[in-house]
């Protein structure tokens, strides 16, 4: 193996740069030339290839966003486009590819592997909705950001004895909402994986008031509904005044937490080793503190850990 390329795809996540740096250093250590592909899968078609050793690798590990840029490139679902990508990779004499991204990016990686191009993926998304890993790169930083914001909202909510709906990201997955609700001591988490009723929340608000708690914090996952829609539903024609805060893209930015930096470094290093061993169609995840290899095709079929944990109802005592 003489040349390995790396790309970041889908939504950026804190720690992607740490992963890219680790690919570069690990490849270089094995006398393999690392290549950067800019703008995700789109860069494979636009031939955005650059020598990765030209990047300032010494100042990368702590930075947010992705220095390789990223894109959402729906055209990549087309096999003709995928074949063009493989042909462009081969013309650059690239022998293997590391993909850093979420569940959508994993599908792109699988497609390249199916076409016979050696491809390995690692999980980079704040959503934590990828199987085969306990945590995706960026999730820890995003929870920290969300909890920091919710703690601040709590101060003003308590001072004014208000009901707040805090809408957090996560697409169809409730991980970010649930983890941040637990960590911030919210009164309610509303996530796609658990059914809820407006009446149930209103009853809980009443019970909470009877217990002397006039402030009520709801952490709502974007996958359920919009924050302002929930506020409308809970207002009971003006009986409750409900404030809304949509945390939005603040959750995707910022310097990665040390945990995300370390996970990113380890997974990317393992991805290069996997390519060197001649394997393809593999994703590397973090399982019980160890880097674990799985087939991407298996992982795309699996439930994530979070869904199994939610189904075990272990946290029912916190939220109803
Ligand atoms: N079925 C598919 N086949 C081939 N490529 C795909 C497929 N689905 C997604 N992709 C590619 O992966 C890219 C990223 O996917 P997506 O936008 O779902 O983000 P993601 O990787 O899941 O990250 P995040 O959810 O954190 O934003 C898509 O824009 C597309 O280029
Ligand atoms: O980049 P966009 O289109 O704003 O995407 C937002 C989506 O991306 C994510 O931030 C994941 O990257 C989701 O949580 C969110 O639904
Ligand atoms: Mg995704």
Under a CB-based contact definition with an 8 Å cutoff, are residues 260 and 15 in contact?
yes
**Per-residue confidence (pLDDT) for residue 13, from 0 to 100:** 98
Please say if the pLDDT value at position 5 is more than 70: yes
Give the right CATH number for 141-252 from 3.50.50.60, 3.40.50.460, 3.40.50.150, 3.30.70.1520. 3.40.50.460
Burial category of 92 from C-beta neighbours within 10 Å (exposed 0-12, middle 13-18, buried 19 and up): middle
Domains of the chain by residue range = 3-138+256-305, 141-252
Task: State the ipTM, two decimals.
Answer: 0.99
| Residue 215 Cα to ligand 1 middle (Å) | 39
Ligand 1 pocket, residue 111 CB under 6 Å: yes
Please say if the pLDDT value at position 165 is more than 90: yes
**Per-residue confidence (pLDDT) for residue 320, from 0 to 100:** 57
Q: Among 10, 11, 170, which residue has the most ligand 1 atoms within 8 Å of its CB, making it the best to mutate?
A: 10
| Catalytic status, residue 12 | no
Mean pLDDT across 247-255: 98
Ligand 2 pocket, residue 224 CB under 6 Å: no
Q: Which residues contact 108 (CB under 8 A, 6 or more apart)?
A: 9, 41, 76, 82, 99, 101
Ligand 1 pocket, residue 51 CB under 6 Å: no
Does CATH number 2.30.130.10 belong to domain 3-138+256-305? no
| Residue 192 Cα to ligand 2 middle (Å) | 16
Q: Which residues contact 119 (CB under 8 A, 6 or more apart)?
A: 96, 97, 98, 99, 109, 110, 112, 113, 280, 281
127 has binding-site annotation: yes
Mean pLDDT across 249-259: 98
154 has binding-site annotation: yes
**Per-residue confidence (pLDDT) for residue 313, from 0 to 100:** 72
Q: Model's pTM, two decimal places?
A: 0.97
Ligand 2 pocket, residue 169 CB under 6 Å: yes
Tokens found for residue 261: 């930096």
Same fold, 3-138+256-305 and 141-252: yes
Tokens found for residue 227: 């924050």
Under a CB-based contact definition with an 8 Å cutoff, are residues 286 and 134 in contact?
yes
Residue 243's closest CA among 255, 259, 227? 227
| Residue 64 Cα to ligand 3 middle (Å) | 18
The alpha carbon torsion through 223, 228, 233, 238 (nearest 10 deg) reads: 170
Mean pLDDT across 61-66: 98
**Per-residue confidence (pLDDT) for residue 311, from 0 to 100:** 75
74 DSSP 8-state letter: G
């Amino acid at each position: 193996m003489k040349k390995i390329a790396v790309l970041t795809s889908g939504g950026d996540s804190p720690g992607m740069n740490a992963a890219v740096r680790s690919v570069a250093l690990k490849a270089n250590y094995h006398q393999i030339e690392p290549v950067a592909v800019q703008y995700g899968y789109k860069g494979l078609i636009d031939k955005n290839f650059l020598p990765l050793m030209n990047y300032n690798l010494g100042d990368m590990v702590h930075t947010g966003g992705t220095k390789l840029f990223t894109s959402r490139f729906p055209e990549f679902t087309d096999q003709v486009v995928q074949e063009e990508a493989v042909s462009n990779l081969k013309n650059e004499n690239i022998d293997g590819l590391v993909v850093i991204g979420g569940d959508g990016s994993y599908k792109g990686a699988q497609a390249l592997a199916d076409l016979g191009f050696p491809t390995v993926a690692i999980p980079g998304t704040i959503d934590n909705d990828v199987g085969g890993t306990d945590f995706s790169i960026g999730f820890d930083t995003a929870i920290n950001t969300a909890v920091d914001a919710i703690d601040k909202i709590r101060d003003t909510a308590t001072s004014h004895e208000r009901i707040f709906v805090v809408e957090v990201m996560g697409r169809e997955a409730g991980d970010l909402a649930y983890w941040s609700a637990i960590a911030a001591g919210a009164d309610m988490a509303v996530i796609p994986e658990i059914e809820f009723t407006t009446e149930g929340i209103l009853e809980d608000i009443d019970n909470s008031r009877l217990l002397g708690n006039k402030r009520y914090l709801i952490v709502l996952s974007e996958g359920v509904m919009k924050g302002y829609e929930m506020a409308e539903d809970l207002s009971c024609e003006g009986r409750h005044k409900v404030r809304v805060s949509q945390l939005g893209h603040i959750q995707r930015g910022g310097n990665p937490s040390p945990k995300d930096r370390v996970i990113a470094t380890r997974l990317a290093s393992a991805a290069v080793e996997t390519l060197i061993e001649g394997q393809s169609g593999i994703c590397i995840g973090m399982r019980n503190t160890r880097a674990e290899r799985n087939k991407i095709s298996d992982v795309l079929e699996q439930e994530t850990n979070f869904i199994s944990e939610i189904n075990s109802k272990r946290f029912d005592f916190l939220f109803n």
